[in-house]
A = this chain, B = another copy of it.
Amino acid sequence: MEQNRILASYYIETAYPLEHAAEVMAGEQSTGTFISVPGETPELQEMHGARVVSITELESVDHPSLPGAKVPKQSGAGAGYRRAIVVLSFPLDNVGPSLPNLMSTVAGNLYELGEFSGLRLIDLELPDAFANKYPGPQFGIEGTRTLSGVHDRPLIGTIIKPSIGLHTEDYGPLVRQLAEAGIDFIKDDELCANPAFAPLEQRVRVVMDEINRVADRTGKKVMYAFNITGDIDELRRNHDLVVKAGGTCVMACVNSLGFAGTAYLRSFSELPIHGHRTQWGAMSRSPLLGMSFTVFQKLCRLAGVDHLHTNGLNNKFSEDNATVARAIQDCMKPFLGGYPVMPVLSSAQWAGTAVPTYEAVQTTDVIMVAGGGVLAHPGGIAAGVRSVRQGWEAAVQGIPLADYAERHEELRQAIRTFSK
């Protein structure tokens, strides 16, 4: 791509001619304004205007997807709303390699424009200048595997439950049990950051005591993602608590911190950043608003997360399997020449979910976070962990789950308990 321009793709819906609508987008987000002003010379427009790269017309609909859209005065009755993919390019010079200012430019006021009854940012290509400014994931997949000692299969993880309300003293026995069960990864819930009844400082001490003790004995050190989300001026202290206790991962709620806050954390982090996508639905669930996960995961990788929640197949949320599979595949594609990120699959995951997951994405470079699928296994937590590993073994070897379960008791129990 041109190294001096930013490319942004949008899925739009408008009652206006597509060429006009695209020009409105380009104008609003660069040199144009509602009225012509003296300084807007042809030279300035040429140098600093956004350009319409392409318009691909798609289907038409009778009713607007979003309210507040204007219709052109001359439009005939029932002319409808056209949908299209519009690609714009913006001069890098307008923005500079700045993540916050990129957002003001490629998203900005576009969503409010009256000419549109739908507008979604669906892709983004950035020049190398961004890579020079933002180093991206520091550990990625390889670094995570090295720190956790797990190779050639997914990291099997779980999440501390109940999500919120456990007191500091509850963490010791629970984490010991999980670590002794051979789990690879544990995470705090996104709801639990630094509550008075389980302050981060105490939680880190208690949890790492247990993890280090088991590691000394077994040689396997569980990766625990401590939720260090907080105010900007708390991030360094929170991070340092984890480092000093020998922790190997910090968790950040990307949308609660902002991309800028996450990039700031990356600027000093000595540990992998586990990126939680809480609030993601607010920017994605309306099909013609917000942004696609394709864009979101690029922004998260630019900000420097090493792990990123993608949801899991057969989840209990509103996203279907095709959407989740695309999200995982998005994470697998190189961005800016690399920026490897490890997808985190969660929500109703258990041994059986491994099969459709592997079929859909053909990779084991994921973290599978199974709550009930591990904790509620009738054979206990260790059996729960083994069952999820067995599910992945069956998936990778292409052996039907039921066949594999004949020789694997824990998988058999899991199927009996969790399959519907």
Q: How far does the Cβ of A375 sit from chain B's closest Cβ, in whole Å?
A: 6
Please state if B39 and A253 are interface contacts (CB–CB under 8 Å): no
Encode contact with B along A97-135: 1 for CB under 8 Å, 0 otherwise.
011110111011111111010000000000000000000
Task: Say whether B31 contacts A112, CB under 8 Å.
Answer: no
In the complex, the answer to whether A279 meets B196 with C-beta atoms within 8 Å is: no
Hey, which chain B residues are within 8 Å of A107, CB to CB? 278-279, 282
Q: A39-B161, A109-B317, A260-B256 are in contact. Are A93 and B191 (CB under 8 A)?
A: no
Given known A-B contacts A37-B376, A289-B285, A278 and B31 have beta carbons under 8 A apart = no
Interface positions, chain A 231-285, Cβ under 8 Å from B, are: 231-233, 253, 255-261, 263-264, 267, 278-283, 285
* Residue A143 lies at the interface, judged by CB distance under 8 Å to chain B: no
Give complex CA distance A108, B235 in Å. Answer: 20
Write the nearest CB–CB distance from A41 to chain B, whole angstroms: 9
Binds B, one of A62-70, A205-213, A332-340, A356-364: A62-70
User: Residue A174 at the B interface, CB < 8 A?
Assistant: yes
* B37 x A162 contact (CB < 8 A): yes
**B375 close to A279 (CB less than 8 A):** no
Binds B, one of A81-89, A164-172, A217-225: A164-172
Are A291 and B282 neighbours in the complex by a CB distance under 8 Å?
Answer: yes
Knowing A33-B163, A40-B162, A165-B48 are in contact, say whether A190-B108 is a contact too (CB < 8 A). yes
Question: CA A316 – CA B27 in complex, angstroms?
Answer: 14
B281–A260 touching, CB < 8 Å: no
Which residue of chain B has its CB nearest to the CB of A348?
A: B34
With a cutoff of 8 Å between Cβ atoms, the chain B residues found around residue A67 in the complex are 285, 287, 318
What is the CA–CA distance of A112 and B310 in the complex, to the nearest angstrom?
12
- Least Cβ–Cβ distance between A168 and chain B, in angstroms: 13
User: Given A33-B372, A112-B280, A256-B260 in contact, is the A320-B197 Cβ separation under 8 Å?
Assistant: no
Complex CA–CA separation, A107 to B277 (angstroms)? 12
Which residues on B sit within 8 Å (CB–CB) of A190? 104, 108-109
In the bound assembly, the distance between CA atoms of A267 and B234 in angstroms comes to 12
A66 pairs with B279, CB closer than 8 A: no
Q: Which residues of B contact A95 (CB under 8 A)?
A: 191, 193, 195
Max count, chain B CB within 10 A of own CB: residue among A107, A194, A260, A375: A260
A289 to B280, CA, bound (A): 11
* B-chain residues with CB within 8 Å of residue A319 when the two chains form the complex: 68, 112
**B191 lies within 8 A of A108 (CB):** yes
CB-CB nearest 4 A-B residue pairs: A258-B258, A111-B281, A68-B318, A48-B165
Q: What are 9 inter-chain pairs, A to B, with CB distance below 8 A?
A: A31-B162, A31-B164, A31-B165, A45-B165, A101-B194, A108-B279, A232-B261, A260-B261, A261-B261
- A contacts, CB < 8 Å to B: 29-35, 37-40, 44-45, 47-49, 66-70, 93-96, 98-101, 103-105, 107-114, 116, 161-166, 170, 174, 190-197, 229-233, 253, 255-261, 263-264, 267, 278-283, 285-287, 289-291, 311, 316-320, 347-348, 371-372, 375-376
Known: A35-B376, A68-B285, A232-B261. 6 other contacts (CB 8 A): A70-B318, A93-B195, A100-B253, A101-B193, A107-B282, A258-B258
